[in-house]
Amino acid sequence: MADTTLTVRADAPIGTVSPRLYGHFAEHLGRCCYDGLWVGLDATNIPHREGFRTDVLEALRAMPTPLLRWPGGCYADHYHWRDGVGPPAERPRRLGMSCDLQVEDDNGLGTHEFLRLCALLGAEPYLAGNMGTGSPQELCDWLEYCNTPLDTTLSRLRAANGAPSPFGVPLWGVGNENWGCGGNYDAASYAREYRRYATMLRHVDPHAELVACGYEDDWNAELLATLGNRLHLVDHLSIHHYWSHGGPELDFDDADYYALLAEAAETEAFVVRTAAIIEDATGGRRRIGIALDEWGVWHPEVRTWGPGATARRAPVTYEQAGTLRDALAAAIALEGFHRQCATLSLANLAQIVNVLHAPVMTDGAAMWLTPTYHALRLHAPHLGATALPVAGDGPLVLPDGSAAVTATATSGDRGLAVTLVNRHLDRSADVCLVVPEVAGDAGAAVLTADTPRAVNSADDPERVVPAVLEVRADGPGRWRLAMPPHAMATVRIGPAA
Ligand code: AHR
């Protein structure tokens, strides 16, 4: 008998896994935007394309990066878009502020540069507007500047700055964390302010998808209740979810290991609760998607809030070690995203380079990929495919009695893909994969290491990389594979396997 039997229900599709569920977040914070992505047009020591690091661009394209949110974060509620357009030498030098950091900000990476980055990456752009120190007029102007096809002073300015055609930016956030860094609003005051912004933005571009700032359950319910009969002004409700209960980034104990994975799994429950609040407020008459705008692990070494007695690194640059454990946590969260793809409209891992749960790290000329990068890349077959339910059964369980091996499956143009996680710290799992009525060749790649504390680094960039995993046919519609402990793998079945 197998340790775990996973049965994929190809006859009971859940919905489409929008590529937007694999979005990313780039904030002007620490070395994410400046240094990590942008080295500037004049950089001579780092190969770049139009100011963006070539090595990072290539990695992010391959990951892939279908959606990118910018410029914040808390930074967004101080940001004035006009500072970042026009000749770079004439752009003002501002105080860049986010998360208790202050930097000298030369605005070299502005709207045109960011939208060029999105074009190079094949990413949909998502701009976060300023409600903290901005105005409805300023945000309407940014929307007009980016999206109007008409001949106006702002579109002429856009053309003069190199973009005669509209950018057609689809997604617009109305503030960020306005319950906190974005102005310390209460839910009802934010709702009234949102109504004003959204009404005016809709006049400028009725097709722009507007994202309202959500928070926890009570805020979300009050926000939507206050919007009342104006819910048509909301396309997406933004929530953020950072995991903070996993102990130290590297030197975690076994209980911490399981705590982080459990916290990652609970992300799904937050999405489910938020969906119920939306359903309650709309009566099912309007679709408001859930935008999980920021998610991932935020370790105590780089945190000024939350649990954990670990000494904080000084100064806090928001750079943390990304271990195999973090990659497994991401894979577990993605299982939930697939299951909730009918209500979760987008999700952005925080953040894309050098900050928090980053898939890519840089140090001077060096660049390396974290285990989370490889986890995301192993999920690539799921983008745009149809999510299918997976039922698990078998004796292998974690200390809390929950299943050790879990999985998500999708069916797409190139066959079936199943991504499995063996959460068990030290037990390998003999897995039987059952997909009734499905035939084809199977192949798999696995991501693991001798310890879940393993990291990649500039000196050892390939310590945690995918490897081939053997998959054996075990009769019609059945396959067998051995999952190592603390590991994830993607099995592909079909012509492209
Ligand atoms: O991602 C770092 C910060 O986390 C963002 O600026 C803010 O939105 C959140 O609190």
> What DSSP string describes 87-103?
-GGGS--EEEEETTEEE
User: Is 177 noted as a catalytic residue in this protein?
Assistant: yes
Quickly list DSSP for 141-172.
HHHHHHH--S--HHHHHHHHTT--S-----EE
Same domain, residue pair 87 and 117? yes
Are 326 and 426 in a shared domain?
no
- Mutating to test ligand 1, I would choose from 31, 75, 99 the residue with most ligand atoms within 8 A of its C-beta, which is 99
Q: Atom 5 (ligand 1): residue with closest C-alpha?
A: 73
User: What's the whole-number mean pLDDT along residues 446-475?
Assistant: 97
Q: From ligand 1's centre to the CA of 342, what distance in Å?
A: 26
Question: Is there a single domain that holds both residue 356 and residue 225?
Answer: yes
Task: Tell me if 74 CB under 6 Å of ligand 1.
Answer: yes
pLDDT band at 285 (very low <50, low <70, confident <90, very high): very high
Active-site choice (113, 144, 177, 263): 177
Number of domains in the chain: 2
Note down the domain range covering 465. 2-8+388-494
CATH number of the domain within which 188 lies: 3.20.20.80
Selected catalytic residue, list 113, 263, 294, 335: 294
Q: What pLDDT score does 97 carry? A: 87
CA angle 170, 172, 175 (to 5 degrees): 170
Q: What is the pLDDT of residues 196-221, one digit of tens each?
A: 999 999 999 999 999 999 999 999 99
- With CA atoms as reference, report the closest residue to 400 among 255, 245, 267: 255
| C-beta 72 within 6 A of ligand 1 | yes
CB of 176 shorter than 6 A to ligand 1:
yes
Please, is 36 exposed, middle or buried when counting C-beta atoms within 10 Å of its C-beta (0-12, 13-18, 19+)?
A: buried
Q: What is the pLDDT of residues 233-260, one digit of tens each?
A: 999 999 999 999 999 999 999 999 999 9
Are both 367 and 351 inside the same structural domain?
yes
The Cα 394–Cα 181 span in angstroms is 46
pLDDT at residue 455 is higher than 90: yes
- The per-residue pLDDT for 316 is 87
For ligand 1, the distance from its centroid to the CA atom of residue 435, given in whole angstroms, is 41
Query: Tens digit of pLDDT for each residue in 138-196?
Result: 999 999 999 999 999 999 999 999 999 999 999 999 999 999 999 999 999 999 999 99
Per-residue pLDDT tens for 68-92? 999 999 999 999 999 999 999 999 9
Q: Is 335 in the pocket of ligand 1 (CB under 6 A)?
A: no
Q: pTM of the entire structure?
A: 0.97
Q: Is 13 part of a structural domain of the chain?
A: no
Domain end, chosen from 383, 411, 432, is at 383
Of 323, 354, 383, the position where a domain reaches its end is: 383
pLDDT in tens, 315-345: 889 999 999 999 999 999 999 999 999 999 9
| Residue 374 sits in the same domain as residue 461 | no
Does residue 262 lie within any of the structural domains? yes
Confidence of residue 496 (pLDDT cuts 50, 70, 90): very low
Among residues 383, 410, 440, the one where a domain terminates is: 383
Helix, strand, coil distribution of the chain in percent, nearest 5? 30, 25, 45
Which tokens go with 449? Answer: 């290491």
What pLDDT score was predicted for residue 326? Answer: 98
Phi-psi region of 394 (alpha: psi -120 to 50; beta: other; left: phi over 0): left
Give the Å distance between the CA of 74 and the centre of ligand 1: 6
Q: Could you confirm whether 279 is annotated as catalytic? A: no
